[in-house]
Structure 1
Amino acid sequence: MVLLGSLINALGIAAGTLIGLLLTKIPDRIKETVMIAIGLSVSILGITMAFKSEDFFYVIVSLIAGAVIGEVLNLEEKLHAVGRWIERRMGKSKSGNIAEGFVTATLIFVIGAMAIVGALDSGLRGDHSVLMTKAMIDGFTSAVLASTLGIGVLLSAIPVLLYEGAIALLAGVIQSSIEEKLLSSLISEMTAAGGVMILAIGLNMLQIKAIRVANLLPALPVIILLVTIQHYFF
């Protein structure tokens, strides 16, 4: 089953969130320290991912261009609007900050090499081991996030399933249309650009700087375009 890995990943996030919701009654002092620990860990993860780049120039250019596009489209506000729409129907007092939980968790779980490589393995070889491993990691992370950000973390399972599922279903097309060397470069540079965004999420969690991370998402298609042009013409 091509989508098995994606489904397990989404279920892992859902299960982790439900476990995390059982921990929401812990003292605020502990929640604050836990959030700092998460922020520090996420920041280090982002830095590690950023070093995957083979030429950071493309990452810088893509982030600048992506930021301009994202601000024009105001993607951050649109994502938060979805969360607020759900909040109005579920009752924020019962569900926590759904918008923040949804946006933060979605960006953490979707951005990164494991999602892409794992989905490709699922689609091409029926090997779901990478996504199963990611499911365990995301499940633990979602439990910790849900304990502080609430049920909005659960909603991130939907874009994760759609994103990884789409890659898995299109894996054959991707393999046949993209050279192996180019695909490897694309994954490296997308991971690096995503790492910068993950670092930004960490800074948000640490309340060091309020960064509209979702408005940086257009950097990913931009870096795909730049790396492809570099591969074929330079």
Structure 2
Amino acid sequence: MGTIINVVLLVAGGLLGLAGGRFITPRIQDTLMKASGLCVLFIGLGGTMQKMLLIDGKALATTGTTMLIVSFALGSLIGEAVNLEAAIENLGEWLKRKTGSEGDNEFTNAFVSTSLTVCIGAMAIVGSIQDGLLGDWSTLALKGALDCIIVCTMTASLGRGCIFSALPVAVFQGTITLFAGALSPIMTTAALNSLSLVGSMLIFCVGVNLIRPQTFRTANMLPSVVIAVIYALLF
């Protein structure tokens, strides 16, 4: 139920943004896209600082730096080796053809950017496990409300490709919900904190790409999330 609610709210936000975007000039769409990028950037930055900074006596200290270096180094190496970015872009191109959106030059970029923004994060995993084990869909409903606002804004600036981010959300969260029993022991507090920290940095990269396109190949860094969980379980 949680994933269904999340997907419905996401699509509703996308359709609302699509309807509004038709009445916005290209100049305003460009400004809106950069504004969306700025918001996504600070969402990622806020999540990163929340997990990385701590108070040590009267001073600020950082934690998780070694985990970050190891996770991003190994994760990016794996991602580049299999070229996840190309695979996700190919999926976007396939959706573009199947939906008759060949004339939309921003379709694939919109699909990839939005999918990475709404799929990465601890809320998606924790909420899906709660839904699968306890039938508690409140976390995913809250995430759906946030996704609705984010996707609405991004669709108004980038176009209909953003709406199709509902597909990876449905597959990703639905799969976790189905296998929640097996994943629950793995997702310790340390593992979730590491996942949230790396995920927030990836969201930051998506925000940068919306402002300065093709700065990061964020999809090729996705394995970093898995490495972060493994690192937390081992160390």
TM-score (norm 2): 0.89
The alpha-carbon deviation at position 92 of structure 1 amounts to 2.5
User: How many residues align structurally?
Assistant: 222
1:69-93 deviation digits (Å, cap 9, x = unpaired): 1111111111111112232341322
Which of 211, 218, 221 is 2:223 aligned to? 218
The aligned counterpart of 2:45 is 47
The alpha-carbon deviation at position 208 of structure 1 amounts to 6.9
Is this contact kept in 1: 2:191–2:232, CA < 8 A?
yes
Distance 1:38 1:119 in 2: 26
Distance 2:3 2:188 in 1: 21
The alpha-carbon deviation at position 130 of structure 1 amounts to 0.9
The alpha-carbon deviation at position 156 of structure 1 amounts to 1.0
Pairing of 1:1-234 with structure 2 (within 5 A): 4-25=1-22, 26-51=24-49, 52-53=51-52, 54-89=63-98, 90-93=100-103, 95=104, 97-175=106-184, 177-178=185-186, 183-207=188-212, 210-230=215-235
Task: Give the stretch that moved more between structures: 57-66 or 204-213.
Answer: 204-213
RMSD (CA atoms): 1.6
1:40-78 deviation digits (Å, cap 9, x = unpaired): 111111112223144221022101111111111111111
What is the DSSP-based 3-state SS (H/G/I as helix, E as strand, rest coil) of the residue aligned with 2:229? helix
Distance 1:56 1:155 in 2: 35
The alpha-carbon deviation at position 214 of structure 1 amounts to 0.2
- In structure 1, what residue type is equivalent to 2:101? G
The alpha-carbon deviation at position 192 of structure 1 amounts to 0.6
Distance 1:81 1:209 in 2: 16
Greater than 4 Å deviation, 4+ residue runs:
none
Distance 2:79 2:231 in 1: 17
Q: Which runs of 5+ in 2 are unaligned?
A: 53-62
Identity %: 33
Is this contact kept in 1: 2:118–2:169, CA < 8 A?
yes
- In structure 1, what residue type is equivalent to 2:127? G
1:134-178 deviation digits (Å, cap 9, x = unpaired): 111101111111112212112111111111112222222233x44
Distance 2:175 2:93 in 1: 27
Distance 2:26 2:191 in 1: 42
Is this contact kept in 2: 1:96–1:149, CA < 8 A?
no
Distance 2:159 2:70 in 1: 35
